[in-house]
Amino acid sequence: MGTVGVISSAFTIAKVTRDDQENDERYNEMFRAVKQEQE
């Protein structure tokens, strides 16, 4: 369930980064790290 919580937080952050394109790359890097943890 911990991973699910991280993903939920990631999607919440994604909504915020829509208003700040500079953070878009940081979100992508974080999301990749989350996917690696799942594997």
- The number of distinct structural domains making up the chain is 1
C-alpha dihedral (25, 35, 5, 22), degrees to nearest 10: 0
User: What is the pLDDT at residue 22?
Assistant: 65
Alpha-carbon dihedral 22, 23, 24, 27, rounded to 10 degrees: 160
Positive/negative CA dihedral, 4, 11, 6, 39: positive
The pLDDT value recorded for residue 3 is 82
- Taking alpha carbons only, the member of 27, 13, 16, 12 closest to residue 35 is 27
Q: Residue 32's pLDDT is what?
A: 85
Which domain does 14 fall in, by range?
2-38
Q: Running along the chain, 39 residues long, what does each successive block of 10 average in pLDDT?
A: 80 73 74 80
